[in-house]
């Protein structure tokens, strides 16, 4: 019998990981890789393309930032993230300027849906389209595909401002050299300083590159990660070229500075929530205008979350009963929605609902 927890219970289910930085690799002037080791009894298992969310405390306030794994399970004998310094960014600068070996960090367990089911026999074509630090989850996925799907062809279109800023330049060149028939690297540099042609990915160039590389007989998949405008351009181009929405996956690093406003709900009264989380069944009420995550947090029920703006999917749950309306969704695909997935950080109950996390 699983415990049913009522309104007054104070709950903290979160599996918080305690991680220690055991190595630091300077990838470029502005990007560093951090090798992380969990406390002995903790298990850090993740899929290529996923991220972890670090929890920081500043002036008594809890703040969260997510960073994708640059390491690949079953390929790399370590766990790592790679952080690029953001001008005026609070936590990226902490990582790139201050963190040293032996630094202790607190994080939520891995999450994210920028992942791929793989199998040895499968043969398909995957285009990865990345810019700047967007290479981090893409690099993890590329290593996984090379390891797990030897018949799948990979094209990486990778945009950077200058050659000096290219994260994993050497590693990617080595992979392309070692697997010339499987992996093709197309590096685009905007800066013309060293006499090279300036190449900035735009609609016509992306169309030319995709048509040139396309293997007609294959199933095609596209993984996009980079600044919001870059991904919008790539998504628009691919859709316009006729590739279905379902073949295009995106990872958005840009979190909105403010929570999107609550959507209009036909019956705005309070709703009953029944949540299945970590083997417990939790009953609570969501007041009008309050999202599901906030309703739980207000009761001391610490569900997983990170961006709070419908971007990262850390808070995703499956709706078993009832209707949830989201004020934003930048991560769930059409098939995720059809399967009943919702983002609780921007999800408002339209009826009584039952959700499983
Ligand atoms: C799923 C996911 C995965 C990610 N993976 C990676 C990764 O692998 N590698 C990586 O490097 N990053 C990654 N990111 C991005 C990362 O989480 C951070 O957003 C990034 O490092 C910036 O955080 P920061 O604290 O340094 O910047 P912040 O302090 O949050 O600032 C970000 C920007 O906003 C501006 N800003 C801040 N406050 C204000 C304000 N009040 N008004 C106006 N402007 C303001 C700053 O000047 C800065 O330019 C990922 C994000 C997500 C959601």
Question: What domains are there in the chain, each with its CATH number?
Answer: 16-108 (2.40.30.10), 125-251 (3.40.50.80), 258-356 (3.10.20.30)
pLDDT at residue 41, rounded to an integer: 78
Cα–Cα dist 299/288, whole Å: 15
Please provide residue 183's backbone torsions phi and psi, each rounded to the nearest 5 degrees: -125, 125
pLDDT at residue 16, rounded to an integer: 86
pLDDT at residue 353, rounded to an integer: 98
Q: Which residue has the tokens 């560093």?
A: 32
90 CA → ligand 1 middle, Å = 8
159 CA → ligand 1 middle, Å = 19
pLDDT at residue 246, rounded to an integer: 92
pLDDT at residue 73, rounded to an integer: 97
Mutate to test the pocket of ligand 1, among 36, 50, 67 (most ligand atoms within 8 A of CB): 67
Between the alpha carbon of residue 11 and those of residues 8, 17, 202, 279, 315, the distances in Å are 9, 17, 49, 13, 16
Q: Which of 144, 74, 82, 153 is nearest to 114 (CA)?
A: 144
The answer to whether 9 and 277 are in contact (CB under 8 A) is no
Following DSSP, what letter does each residue of 57-99 receive, concatenated?
EETTEEEEEEEEB-S-TTTSSSEEEEEE--TT-HHHHIIIII-
Cβ neighbours of residue 23 closer than 8 Å, sequence gap 6 or more: 34, 35, 78, 101
* Nearest protein CA to atom 24 of ligand 1, as residue: 89
* Nearest protein CA to atom 47 of ligand 1, as residue: 88
Q: Closest ligand 1 atom to the C-alpha of 83?
A: 11
Cα–Cα dist 211/205, whole Å: 10
Residuewise pLDDT in 10s, the chain (357 residues): 344 443 334 345 556 899 999 999 999 999 999 999 999 778 899 999 999 999 999 888 889 999 999 999 999 999 999 999 999 999 999 999 999 999 999 999 999 999 999 999 999 999 999 999 999 999 999 999 999 999 999 999 999 999 999 999 999 999 999 999 999 999 999 987 766 677 999 999 999 999 999 998 899 999 999 999 999 999 999 999 999 999 999 999 988 888 899 999 988 899 999 999 989 999 999 998 999 999 999 999 999 999 999 999 999 999 999 999 999 999 998 889 999 999 999 999 999 999 999
Question: Cα–chain-centroid distance for residue 317?
Answer: 16
pLDDT at residue 253, rounded to an integer: 94
- Dihedral over alpha carbons 116, 117, 123, 126 (to 10 degrees): -10
* Nearest protein CA to atom 18 of ligand 1, as residue: 65
Q: Is 250 exposed, middle or buried (0-12, 13-18, 19+ CB in 10 A)?
A: buried
Cα–Cα dist 249/343, whole Å: 17
For the chain, the 3-state helix, strand and coil shares in percent, each to the nearest 5, are 20, 35, 45
Tokens, residue 222: 């596209």
Question: Cα–chain-centroid distance for residue 270?
Answer: 32
CA atoms within 13 A on the CB side of 337: 13
208 CA → ligand 1 middle, Å = 32
The DSSP code for 11 is B
Q: Which residues line ligand 1 (CB under 6 A)?
A: 51, 65-68, 82-84, 86-93, 112, 133, 136, 251, 253, 255, 307, 311-312
Cα–Cα dist 184/166, whole Å: 16
The answer to whether 220 and 242 are in contact (CB under 8 A) is no
SS (H, E, C) 294-337: HHHHHCCECCCCCCCCCCCCCCEEEEEECCEEECCCCCCCHHHH
Condensed to tens digits (0 to 9), the pLDDT of residues 27-61 reads 999 999 999 999 977 889 999 999 999 999 988 88
Cβ neighbours of residue 248 closer than 8 Å, sequence gap 6 or more: 222, 224, 235, 238, 239
186 CA → ligand 1 middle, Å = 27
Q: Closest ligand 1 atom to the C-alpha of 81?
A: 8
- Residue positions counted in the chain: 357
**Where are the extended beta strands (E) located within 6-72?**
16-28, 31-38, 51-58, 61-68
pLDDT at residue 14, rounded to an integer: 54
């Amino acid at each position: 019998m699983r415990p049913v927890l009522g309104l007054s219970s104070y709950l903290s289910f979160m599996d918080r990981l305690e991680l220690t930085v055991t190595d630091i690799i300077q990838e470029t002037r502005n990007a560093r890789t951090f090798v992380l080791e969990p406390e002995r009894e903790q298990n850090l298992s993740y899929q290529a393309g996923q991220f972890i969310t670090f929890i920081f405390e500043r002036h008594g306030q809890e703040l969260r930032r997510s960073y994708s794994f640059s390491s690949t399970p079953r390929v790399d004998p370590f766990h790592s993230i790679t952080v690029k310094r953001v001008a005026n960014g609070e936590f990226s600068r902490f990582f790139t300027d201050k963190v040293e070996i032996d630094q202790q960090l607190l994080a939520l367990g891995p999450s994210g849906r920028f992942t791929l089911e793989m199998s040895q026999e499968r043969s398909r074509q995957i285009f990865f389209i990345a810019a700047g630090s967007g290479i981090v989850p893409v690099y993890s996925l590329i290593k996984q595909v090379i390891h797990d799907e030897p018949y799948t062809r990979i094209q990486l279109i990778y945009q950077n401002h200058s050659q000096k800023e290219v994260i994993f330049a050497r590693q990617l060149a080595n992979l392309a050299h070692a697997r010339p028939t499987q992996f093709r690297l197309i590096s685009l540099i905007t800066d013309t300083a060293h006499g090279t042609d300036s190449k900035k990915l735009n609609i016509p160039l992306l169309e030319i590159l995709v048509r040139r590389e396309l293997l007609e007989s294959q199933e095609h998949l596209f993984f996009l990660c980079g600044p919001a405008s870059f991904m919008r351009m790539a998504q628009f181009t691919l859709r316009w070229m006729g590739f279905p929405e379902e073949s295009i996956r995106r990872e958005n690093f840009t979190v909105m500075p403010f929570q999107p406003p609550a959507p209009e709900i036909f019956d705005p009264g309070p709703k009953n929530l029944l949540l299945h989380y970590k083997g417990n069944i939790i009953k609570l009420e969501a007041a009008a205008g309050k999202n599901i995550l906030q309703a739980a947090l207000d009761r001391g029920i610490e569900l997983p979350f990170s961006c709070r703006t419908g971007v990262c999917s850390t808070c995703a749950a499956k709706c078993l009963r009832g209707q949830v309306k989201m004020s934003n969704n930048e991560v769930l695909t059409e098939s995720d929605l059809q399967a009943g997935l919702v983002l609780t950080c921007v999800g408002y109950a339209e009826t009584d609902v039952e959700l499983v996390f």
